[in-house]
């Protein structure tokens, strides 16, 4: 579950970047979250297709920043998969623990 206490404030200007996302057009939204039970090649192909949409997105940086700040647990955000974000979080936590 995402930690809502980490989310930016509830001002429209914090969220208007979402209106400019490439994922909002052409039915692309279905690529970003896996259906229940999806595994293997189908899962990998869907994630790669989602990341290809992200690669040309004008708000990729804002999207990625949101997903990392909110510790978004599901979907492809800003070109990062769930697993990639989890590895980043784990690495950050491990470095903080060692300090």
14-43: pLDDT as tens digits: 678 899 999 998 888 889 998 999 999 999
Q: List phi, psi (to 5°) of 39.
A: -145, 175
Establish whether 6 is an annotated binding residue. no
Predicted local confidence at residue 40, as pLDDT: 95
65-97 pLDDT per residue, tens = 999 999 999 999 999 999 999 998 887 655 555
Burial class, 80, CB count within 10 angstroms (exposed 0-12 / middle 13-18 / buried 19+): buried
Establish whether 96 is an annotated binding residue. no
Q: What is the mean pLDDT of residues 35-62?
A: 95
What's the predicted TM-score (pTM) here?
A: 0.76
Which tokens belong to 29?
């939204």
What are the residues facing 80 on neighbouring strands? Answer: 77
Predicted local confidence at residue 10, as pLDDT: 55
Burial class, 3, CB count within 10 angstroms (exposed 0-12 / middle 13-18 / buried 19+): exposed
Is the per-residue pLDDT at 13 higher than 70?
Answer: no
Establish whether 54 is an annotated binding residue. yes
Which tokens belong to 38?
């999806």
Establish whether 57 is an annotated binding residue. yes
Predicted local confidence at residue 65, as pLDDT: 93
Is the per-residue pLDDT at 99 higher than 90?
Answer: no
């Amino acid at each position: 579950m995402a930690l809502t206490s980490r989310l930016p404030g509830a001002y429209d200007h914090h969220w208007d970047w979402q209106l400019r996302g490439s994922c909002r057009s052409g039915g692309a939204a279905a690529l970003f979250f896996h259906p229940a039970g999806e595994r293997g090649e189908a899962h990998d192909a869907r994630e790669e297709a989602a990341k290809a949409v992200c690669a040309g997105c004008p708000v990729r940086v804002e999207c990625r920043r949101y997903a990392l700040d909110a510790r978004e647990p599901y979907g492809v955000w800003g070109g990062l998969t769930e697993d990639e974000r989890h590895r980043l979080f784990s690495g950050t936590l491990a470095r903080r623990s060692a300090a």
